[in-house]
Amino acid sequence: MREVFQQELQDVQDRLVEISRRVEQSITRATRAFSEGDVQLAEGVIAADAEIDELALALDDLAIDILARQSPVARDLRIVVSALRISASLERMGDIASHIAQLARLRFPDRVAPSGLRETFKRMGELDVQIAGMLVQLLETEDGDLAEQIRNEDDKIDDLHLSVFDQVLGASWDGVAAETVDATLASRYHERFADHAVSIAKKMQYLASGTWAPVDA
Amino acid sequence: MREVFQQELQDVQDRLVEISRRVEQSITRATRAFSEGDVQLAEGVIAADAEIDELALALDDLAIDILARQSPVARDLRIVVSALRISASLERMGDIASHIAQLARLRFPDRVAPSGLRETFKRMGELDVQIAGMLVQLLETEDGDLAEQIRNEDDKIDDLHLSVFDQVLGASWDGVAAETVDATLASRYHERFADHAVSIAKKMQYLASGTWAPVDA
């Protein structure tokens, strides 16, 4: 019985890693679709989101089933509870990748990012992709240093997010309203994506320590 | 023992209701601060968010403690797992009320909503407040009809959210970039607030049925 249980916990972890890989793929494609105005790539991200949702639901069912059958305690319980919460955040990251892809599709054949902000969004996209990759590794290895690195990268995204507003609200901004809306939404999506990664990193720290860190604002 | 356990489950429910009341109060104040440009009211909402966060964390600790000590199954297990998820959504709704209050504070002494959109935002605010009230009732009574009503109100907010973009992107829009940014963010916050309520309504339906509905996109 004990061996079956350990195998089930391993299965939970494997599934989290698998979902995080899908999220990494989605954000990689979404940010490329966004910066290059590639509508086919955008369509692919939007379609793949339903698969991420299904994988997250299936993982939740498994976790609840384990709680019911195995009544885990201590660290085993923390693994299962953390998995439920991490799956919710990963599901949300998939949604956000899809939102970025939807912006790209909406503006096709134009590119979404207003010309003055292209470099900023390129950098934000790169950081999101990098964070998603770190998250896959963190879920695989439970290496606490990665949690720290994710927070650092998130700080960089927050700075870029603020710089978008500085630019849009600055005297030299001559974008039309549609460009202002796009910049506002896109910047918010890029920033929220990273926030969810930080939130997952905190959940992994809970797994290690047994204490929840305060939730992110 | 059984009686103690039932008391603990009741405690979980009472705390969820208490947190939802705080959220209702925050969104009521935040939308008023937003429409009237009331900076003191806004400050109050921002300060109250930390209390909501703490209440949610304490509830999570209790829920995990119950899982560890009581090893609940069937409906009892669903109550505890749902509580963990509902508390995360309530915490997020508190964040969003705080974001709306922050917009009001940022633009003070001006009012945030551009003049052409004041009625729209007033209506969105009223719907959010109404939904928050329904949520308190739903958590108190577990009345399935309320879940349905929350979805209906959410549809109305989604329509208003789209109408904001129609207006901002329309030929007659003459707002400056700051007004376009504010309208975009504020509309998004109002819409997300309602989304979380729908998500909680779905979790309450899971509690009744034992089956998760697909997560919201």
> Searching chain B, which residue's CA lies closest to the CA of residue A53?
B215
- Ranges in chain B, pLDDT < 50: 215-217
> Quick check: is B216 in a domain?
no
Q: How far apart are CA B53 and CA A214, in angstroms?
A: 7
What burial letters (b/e) apply to B87-96, b meaning 16+ CB within 10 Å?
bbbbbbbbbb
Per the domain annotation, does B111 fall within a domain? Answer: yes
Determine the pLDDT at residue B213.
55
Peptide linkage before A109 cis (omega within 30 of 0)? yes
What pLDDT digit, counting tens, does each position of A35-93 carry?
999 999 999 999 999 999 999 999 999 999 999 999 999 999 999 999 999 999 999 99
Predicted ipTM of the assembly? 0.91
Q: Which residue of A has its CA nearest to B92?
A: A217
On whether residue B27 sits in a domain, the answer given is yes
Band (A2; pLDDT cuts 50, 70, 90): confident
Instruction: Identify whether A215 is part of a domain.
Output: no
Residue A214 confidence class, pLDDT cut points 50, 70, 90: low
* CB contact at 8 A, B116 and B167: yes
Say what the pLDDT of residue B207 is: 84
Q: Is A108 part of the contact surface with chain B (CB cutoff 8 Å)?
A: no
Contacts A67 to B, Cβ<8 Å:
67, 77, 81
A180 interfacial to chain B (CB closer than 8 Å) = yes
Which chain A residue lies closest to B50 (C-alpha atoms)?
A: A217
On whether any CB of chain A is under 8 Å from the CB of B195, the answer is no
pLDDT given at position B214? 52
Share of chain A above pLDDT 70, in %: 96
A174-212: per-residue pLDDT in tens? 999 999 999 999 999 999 999 999 999 999 988 887 765
Residue B215 lies in a domain: no
The pLDDT, as a whole number, for residue A114 is 85
Show residues of chain B in contact with A175, CB under 8 Å: 177
- The count of domains in chain A is 1
Could you report the per-residue pLDDT of A79-128, keeping only the tens digit for each? Answer: 999 999 999 999 999 999 999 999 999 988 887 788 889 999 999 999 99
**Do the domain assignments include residue A192?**
yes
Closest-CA distance, B168 to chain A, in angstroms, reads 7
- Write down the pLDDT at residue A215: 47
Asked if B214 and A49 come within 8 Å (Cβ–Cβ), the reply is no
Evaluate whether residue A149 is within a structural domain.
yes
Q: DSSP secondary structure string, B151-217?
A: HHHHHHHHHHHHHHHHHHTSTT----HHHHHHHHHHHHHHHHHHHHHHHHHHHHHHHHHS-PPPPP-
The answer to whether B189 and B164 have CB atoms below 8 angstroms apart is no
Whether residue A216 lies inside any domain: the answer is no
Give residue A133's domain range.
Answer: 2-209
DSSP summary character for residue A216 = P
**Chain-chain contact of B57 with A185 (C-beta, under 8 angstroms):** no
Q: What angle do CA B143, B100, A153 make, to 5 degrees?
A: 105
Question: Which CATH number goes with the domain that contains B124?
Answer: 1.20.58.220
Q: What pLDDT does residue B82 have?
A: 95
Give the one of A61, A88, A169 whose C-beta lies nearest to B177's C-beta: A169
